[in-house]
Amino acid sequence: MNKPKLSISQQAILGLVFLAIVVWLALFVSAGNVVYWQGWLYWILFFSSVTSISLYFIRKDPNLISSRVKVGPTAETKRSQKISQTLAAVFFVLLLLIPPFDFRFGWSSVPLYLVLISDVFVVVGFAVVFLVFRQNTFASAIIEVQAEQRVISTGVYGIVRHPMYSGALLLLLFTPLALGSFWGLLVFFPLLAVICFRLDDEEKTLSVNLKGYEEYRKKTRYRLIPYVW
């Protein structure tokens, strides 16, 4: 007897639970104990943000959630995209693993005020992603052009062409500091290179397959960081 297929919302919720468990294990097994307050604060803020965003769009925009559950290297169609997704996943895992090892062995010490400021920026990064999702129902987790997709050029898309990556960069840059580690910042730079490569690949796809995207590129000069690039 065939098992009933899970709905998109059920898949999304199971994905959240799985991610919460994996990240908790990455943080606290690596730290060697559960008295890692930076890890607890980050984990609570991270999953409060992710859960709030997910539940909001499960109710308000299930089509967006449907496109977001297709994630990871196997969901991509081009070899270059599979490679970039794989590298991004590896570096993100390292971004989560190095800080708790840093805590465990005392490699560096981030001041309390900087940890708390970094947690604020992590939440701000999620807020940017939330605004992107509200404006762009076509914000898929993979590089693709969906049926009836159109160019979004207002709001955060009027500032940079890839605001979701901008929000993600804030989140990723401040994650090691929020977790109490300076050494974890070393992983951010190769991760930034992977994101820039993926962004460039995405722009090529959109320029060819999405009507009006070339005009949008000329109108909105900056890709990722306002007044920088």
Whichever domain contains 21, its CATH number is 1.20.120.1630
With H, G, I as helix, E, B as strand and everything else as coil, classify residue 47.
helix
Its pTM stands at 0.90
Q: Is residue 224 part of a domain?
A: no
- Does residue 219 have a pLDDT over 60? yes
Instruction: Please give the tally of structural domains in the chain.
Output: 1
- Structural domain for 194, as ranges: 8-219
Residue-wise pLDDT tens digits, 127-161: 999 999 999 888 776 666 776 788 888 899 999 99
Buried/exposed 173-212: b ≥16 CB within 10 Å, e otherwise = bbbbbbbbbeebbebbeebbebbbbbbebbbebbeeebee
Q: Is residue 25 part of a domain?
A: yes
Size of the chain, expressed as the number of residues it contains: 229
Q: What is the pLDDT of residue 71?
A: 66
Q: Is residue 225 part of a domain?
A: no
Q: Is residue 190 part of a domain?
A: yes
Q: Is residue 43 part of a domain?
A: yes
Q: How far apart (Å, rounded) are the C-alpha atoms in residues 216 and 131?
A: 19
Q: Is residue 226 part of a domain?
A: no
